[in-house]
Amino acid sequence: MNKVKNIETEILSDNWYTLKKISFDYCKKDGSWQRQQREAYDRGNGAVILLYNQEQHTVILTRQFRMPTYINGNESGMLIEACAGLLDGNNPEDCIRKETEEETGFVIGEITKVFEAYMSPGSVTEILYFFIASYTPNMRENSGGGLDLEQEEIEVLEVTFDQALHWIDTGVIKDGKTILLLQHLRLKSIL
């Protein structure tokens, strides 16, 4: 049985991405229908990757300014993250290869998809595709840093895996997607 009917959508904002107000009838457990409203932010889907080096026991992370964190208590607005980007019409693997080169300067070989997840399903439509890939220093073809066209100013960080885990414990790393990938490496005993 379909639990949703009579969907009405109103665009509240179509500036950077799309914010919609959605009214709908929802069928409750007792079989009665209830009119509900929700807002959903549609920014498209994305991909994220964590580069790791088993020999050096290191990972590649990025640091960049994130306005939403700044207005929610992050004094500097700077956030340490795994490399990520929006699909923009590409498939997840092609997207993350492109983003990896733009943001980190690394041109990677084989990548492994580990899972996909909705990161904030109460309000954001995005599904995120999670990848890992090994790297070596000779895979770095440029300094990375992102694209000026996209107003990116990204610092590339190569840190030990133990340091990255310590940063989670001490609150230096607060980005959910990055924490998930670091913990994945830990659980699978990859590093």
CATH hierarchy code of domain 46-187 = 3.90.79.10
* Digit-coded pLDDT (tens) for 126-180: 999 999 999 999 999 887 877 666 667 899 999 999 999 999 999 999 999 999 9
Report in angstroms the alpha-carbon separations of 190 from 7, 57, 111, 116.
46, 9, 14, 19
Alpha carbon of 184 to those of 7, 52, 187: distances in Å?
38, 12, 5
**H-helix or E-strand containing 131?**
strand 127-134
pLDDT at 150: 66
CB 163 within 8 A of CB 68: no
pLDDT-based confidence at 9, cuts 50/70/90? very high
- In this prediction, residue 8 has a pLDDT band, given cuts at 50, 70 and 90, of very high
Specify the pTM.
0.92
pLDDT at position 142: 84
**One-letter amino acid identity for 82?**
A
Domain boundaries, the chain: 4-42, 46-187
pLDDT higher than threshold 80 for residue 73: yes
Q: Tokens in use for 33?
A: 């229908």
| Helices 161-170 and 176-187, axial angle in degrees (round to 10) | 130
pLDDT of residue 151: 64
The answer to whether the beta carbons of residues 95 and 87 sit under 8 Å apart is yes
Average pLDDT over residues 29-47: 96
Distance CA 35, CA 166 (A): 47
Residue 23: count of CB within 10 angstroms of its CB: 13
